[in-house]
Structure 1
């Protein structure tokens, strides 16, 4: 990772089917970032990234936006997915993995099943890339954190997944997702979450899709008139997920990415409290 030099400024407080490439911004889905402020990301030279508003057509042919993803068409994995956590519900899981036609030049703005379009796979991963690879498709926005059927379906897009060690994905990271669910359900209102991937220097056997070296997550929510933030990353040296402060997570990411500065929650929106009180209640940093 020493050759990677990039700046990740997550410009929302609590930060950091089917999808729509939206140029250089998230103008159609800024509601998934607290204070409608999406992250700023400057990739290293030669690495292309695309902001995606993840969307799905509902039964009335209405386009529904469900979360946001910054996707690398070079690494063929997401940089991060950002979403709003509401009280999760028991949603039956279905894994009809989708792709994004628009990433490969198709006019369709939302994701479609495998095989849709003529050049699919040029700028993104497809199901066949994972076959016999030894890796799981690891969700960034997990089914466990959804609260409705459409959101559940929308998580199963390959732009929301990266190659993940099966044992870590099915055990340790799953346990972490459950613990985060319990923690965020105690928030006074909806919480804002971003989950990211640190790319490895290797690819899966097809030499196309970059393996995830680390997964990380940042959460923030309002509890008792106080913004509370937590950071997580894994696997650590013992194959576990480590919980940390946001500052410590930023320090870890500085080392992983070999950059000078990452500021995950640079801007805190004002609380509906007197300024004197509000200044003592910001802890998401």
Structure 2
């Protein structure tokens, strides 16, 4: 009986999504979309065994809204419009992923529009960062934590970039702070945008920090650094060897610096991009780390393949970093 009801529910949900897609192309059919949502919701509420699936139905509606936004983007482009563009670049060969687009729900849009006002101290004063700096197709969301800022992608289910302000005083406070190792899905993100712990289980990849736990100077910051919104799927050997050494080297430099050192860290997705888990979390082809010494007004970077056999070589200049990645986080230097 339950199997039959769930099957009928899936069919009804599919009908609702199909109506949403049609409405994106033919506005006159908006009443069909409204009827499909209303009728399906009413039917579900009348089924006792399915009433416990209210949360599932909410997620289905959220996904349907995302699909509608994508259909509308396609329709605009077919009429000669264009999507927003920015410094981020989508993979040249995209992985299999739902046809979703930028924030469409009020909650996601509000989160993206809030910017980094609550963690502005993590960013250089001359180099603001915003969700508008990347294309809408990345589904960007701005997230503030105690010790770092994250420009997050609901498309890749990973950070686009994390930014943190390091100093001698902060790293002295961070020394000896117990590592919690308590990973968790970020509750600030809607279901359609976030990675879950199950996505990484048995994937063969580490949950690789972008803003390192060892950089955090408070217990709150330490705990927040283990949110999956701060993680990418990272080769285990890469994570525990060459990347760990690079993080330690950056901390050593920041301890010797006379002022603030801002560190930008994130993934690149080049070529065929695999995914892991039910939520299709994108696996980076490369990881980058950009270091900006505010007092010296100088920046340098590393871009490393997400592979076990990588060696840590000399850093590249900021101009080379911009040319290599297309990401100009420090326009006043370029």
TM over 0.5: same fold?
yes
Q: Is the 8 A contact 2:199 2:279 kept in 1?
A: no
Q: Deviations over 1:115-165 (max 9, x none)?
A: xxxxxx432001111000000000000012222322222211100001000
Q: Of 163, 179, 182, which aligns to 1:82?
A: 163
User: Is the Cα contact below 8 Å between 2:185 and 2:196 reproduced in 1?
Assistant: yes
Q: Is the 8 A contact 2:85 2:135 kept in 1?
A: yes
Question: Quick one: which of 243, 268, 276 aligns to 1:204?
Answer: 276
**Do residues 252 (structure 1) and 321 (structure 2) align?**
no
Q: 2:302 aligns with which of 224, 228, 232?
A: 232
* Conserved? CA contact 2:153–2:159, under 8 Å: yes
Quote the residue 2:331 is aligned against. 266
Aligned to 1:125: 195
Tell me what 2:226 maps to: 156
Deviation at 1:230, TM superposition (A): 1.6
Listed as ranges, the gaps of 5+ residues in structure 1 are 10-20, 55-64, 105-120, 255-261, 268-283
| 1:33 and 2:98 aligned | no
Give the conservation status (yes or no) of the 8 Å contact 1:187–1:222: no
Cα distance in 2 between the residues matched to 1:96 and 1:208 = 22
Between structure 1 and structure 2, the one with the greater Rg is 2
Number of residue pairs matched?
A: 219
1: CA distance, partners of 2:156 / 2:254? 31
Q: Is the 8 A contact 2:195 2:279 kept in 1?
A: no
**Which is richer in strand?**
1
How many angstroms apart in 2 are the aligned matches of 1:150 and 1:66?
9
Equivalent pair of 2:87/2:135 in contact (CA under 8 Å): no
SS of aligned partner of 2:121: helix
Secondary structure, counterpart of 2:112 in structure 1? coil
Partner in structure 1 of residue 45 of structure 2: none
Give the alignment partner of residue 143 of structure 1, picking from 209, 213, 224.
213
CA distance in 2: counterparts of 1:46 and 1:6, whole angstroms: 9
Q: Secondary structure at the match of 1:99?
A: coil
* Higher relative contact order, structure no. (Cα contacts within 8 Å, ≥ 6 residues apart): 1
Post-superposition offset of 1:103: 1.5
Post-superposition CA distance 1:153-198 (Å, at most 9, x none) = 2211100001000010011100111111111211112211111111
C-alpha spacing 1:184/1:35, structure 2 compared with 1 (3 Å): same
Structure 2 counterpart of 1:72: 153
- How big is each residue's C-alpha offset from its partner over 1:20-75, in whole Å with a ceiling of 9 and x where there is no partner? x7332222221211117432454446431111112xxxxxxxxxx33211111111
- SS of corresponding position for 2:291: strand
Q: CA RMSD in A?
A: 2.4
- The residue aligned with 1:275 is none
Equivalent-residue separation in structure 2 for 1:150 and 1:45 (angstroms): 31
Matched, 1:101 2:172: no
- Secondary structure of the equivalent of 2:237? helix
- Contact conserved, 2:162 with 2:211, CA < 8 A, in 1? yes
Which residue number in structure 1 is paired with residue 257 of structure 2? 187
Alignment TM-score, normalising by the size of structure 2: 0.60
3-state DSSP of counterpart to 1:182: helix
Identify the residue that residue 292 of structure 2 maps to in structure 1: 220
Name the one with the larger helix percent: 2
